[in-house]
Amino acid sequence: IKKVTTHTLLRMKASGENISMITAYDFSFARLFDAAGIDVVLVGDSASNVMAGHETTVPITLEQMIYHAQCVVRGISRALVAVDMPFGSYQSNSDIALASAIRIMKESGAHTIKLEGGEEVVDSIRRIVSAGIPVMGHLGLTPQSIYKFGTYAVRAKEELEAEKLKRDAQLLQEAGCYAIVLEKIPASLAKEVSESLSIPTIGIGAGSHCNGQVLVMHDMLGINNEFKPRFLRQYLNLQEQVTGAVKQYIGDIKSGSFPSESESY
């Protein structure tokens, strides 16, 4: 199989082929997504929410992200794997940022890292890229800053924040990022940014003009039906299916119909 690299993604943007990306946090799902032909698997710090049950992405640690990344990498043979740098592992200074990025690469076997922010983290991005580690940026609704934003509402609707986002996108490209996630911003702004950059944008709640799309696996598979933002297209209702299956299983145990004779030795 031909492996997806950061260069593949650049070529896809140039040729107009949209990039497909999904999150994964473990071996079994990563293997399914890879076999289905996904281009990029993101070990998102959304693991903090969907795997660990935290309310925000703030508490997850570098060690925990590395564990999820190790599990995912074992399931991948074709896709590009990006790993989120968790909150606290890169914001203090570029020495700490570089050390954290190196740990993720060495200990997990992942191919690239992702981190949130623009101008504030651009020095760290430069140093990480200089060390040979490809970096994916992340602008717009950056969930590690939820306590600054106060809400998960759409970002950059106002001129000032939109202008900063456009500047940040240019800075990230100049610093050497190979792609940028645009989360929950107006489609018109995402279109403008995507057209102004040579590197691909990957959108979530950022309209159809990004160069790719990403969703959290638990959201698109309908594992948690309480989370239904407008941008989410739900491809399965696993909550319903899993609940039904487990109820049947419980019923079969209670009634004594499981196991049958043919299921016994």
Residue stretches of the annotated binding site: 45-46, 84, 114, 116
Judged by CB under 6 A, does residue 214 bind ligand KIV? yes
In eight-state DSSP terms, residue 145 is G
Query: Which of 198, 206, 147, 164 has its CA nearest to residue 181?
Result: 206
Whether 183 is a known active-site residue: answer yes
Judged by CB under 6 A, does residue 204 bind ligand KIV? yes
Match 């004594």 to its residue by tokens.
256
Radius of gyration of the chain (CA): 20
By rule CB under 6 A, what string of x and - marks binding of each residue 96-135 to ligand KIV? ----------------------------------------
Judged by CB under 6 A, does residue 165 bind ligand KIV? no
Q: How far is CA 129 from CA 9, 68, 112, 150, 175, in A?
A: 17, 23, 10, 32, 8
Distance of closest approach, residue 215 Cβ to ligand KIV, in angstroms: 7
Q: What is the C-alpha to C-alpha distance for residues 222 and 219, in angstroms, rounded to an integer? A: 5
Q: What is the C-alpha to C-alpha distance for residues 197 and 56, in angstroms, rounded to an integer? A: 30
49 binds, among ligand KIV, Na ion, none (CB under 5 to 8 A by kind): none
Q: What is the C-alpha to C-alpha distance for residues 91 and 122, in angstroms, rounded to an integer? A: 10
Judged by CB under 6 A, does residue 71 bind ligand KIV? no
Judged by CB under 5 A, does residue 45 bind Na ion? yes
The strand pairing partners of 140, in sequence order, are 183
Contact by Cβ (8 Å): 197, 174: no
Q: Which of 63, 159, 161, 183 is catalytic?
A: 183
Residue from 44, 118, 200, 205 in contact with Na ion (CB under 5 A): 44
Interacting stretch for Na ion, rule CB under 5 A, among 20-28, 44-52, 62-70, 186-194? 44-52
Residues that bind ligand KIV (CB under 6 A): 23, 42, 44-46, 84, 181, 183, 204, 214, 216
Active site residues: 183
